[in-house]
Amino acid sequence: MLRLAIQKSGRLSEDSLKLIRECGISFITSSLKLKTESTNFPLEILYLRDDDIPGYVADGVADIGIVGENVLVEEGMQHLAVEQLGFSKCRLSLAVPKGDPYEDISDLQGKNIATSYPNLLQSYLDEKGVQAHIHTISGSVEIAPSIGLADAICDIVSSGSTLISNGLREVERVFKSQAVLIANGGLNAEKQEILNKLLFRIHAVQRAQK
């Protein structure tokens, strides 16, 4: 039995479950259960917070996982990546209040920026030679400017509607992301074989979509 960790609720959950179903793997879902077993494939699914998934896979609590590259790289866990899955594409972007006279990245010099991705943001600012104060918060980042907590934010943008509804304008793209399959490095032979079977099916699904 192979243990797969996926996001409990969020942008990745639906797409992750859809991929597993397209692989012909059946299971019963209930919004209240945090764990389910497939009825026709040796797979157990754990529903977790996305931010916790790389750590659980690294520790072997889960054998494999589906997570955004943004979370994986932020946590310095790139070595767990097996392959990019091509869905849940999004970007990590800097945004400012829409009335702001922002022209280029140097306008952020000395400013306060709120984000849940301090490491990705710091490397981007370093690369651009900009010094700013990074305020790490775990959620509701988009409201930070309107409550006076920050001058700018750096958060995930997909459709862009969250930015618009919070009166923000996207000004820089920091990181491009998509869903990625990750795996623990020390899987035993039995688990490795199940993973190979799963990958074989994932590749078939991907070929059919091309």
What is the binding site for ligand PRP (CB under 6 A)? Answer: 10-11, 50, 139, 155-162
The residue among 132 and 156 lying less far from ligand PRP, judged by its C-beta, is 156
3-state SS string for 112-171:
EEEECCHHHHHHHHHHHCCCCEEEECCCCHHHCHHHCCCCEEEEEECCCHHHHHCCEEEE
E strands along 26-138, which residues?
35-37, 43-48, 64-68, 81-84, 90-97, 112-115, 133-136
For the bound state, the minimum distance from the C-beta of residue 68 to ligand PRP, rounded and expressed in Å, comes to 7
122 binds, among ligand PRP, Zn ion, none (CB under 5 to 8 A by kind): none
Nearer to ligand PRP, 25 or 95 (CB): 95
Sign of the dihedral through C-alpha 116, 120, 123, 125: negative
Size of the site for Zn ion (CB under 5 A): 2
Residue 75 in contact with Zn ion, rule: CB under 5 A: no
As measured in angstroms, the least distance from the Cβ of 159 to ligand PRP is 3
Minimum separation from the CB atom of position 138 to Zn ion (A): 8
- 38/166 with CB nearer ligand PRP: 166
Give Cα separations from 5 to 47, 48, 144 (angstroms). 6, 7, 31
Per-residue CA distances from 192 to 27, 45, 47, 195, 199 (Å): 21, 16, 21, 5, 10
Candidate ranges 33-41, 44-52, 100-108, 177-185; the one touching Zn ion (CB under 5 A): 44-52
Q: Does residue 74 belong to the site contacting Zn ion (CB under 5 A)?
A: no
Interacting residue with Zn ion among 3, 43, 50, 141 (CB under 5 A)? 50
Q: Which does 160 bind (CB under 5 to 8 A by kind): ligand PRP, Zn ion, none?
A: ligand PRP
Residue 71 beta carbon to Zn ion: minimum distance, rounded to whole angstroms: 7
Write down the least CB distance from residue 16 to ligand PRP, Å.
12
Contacts of 165 (CB under 8 A, 6+ apart): none
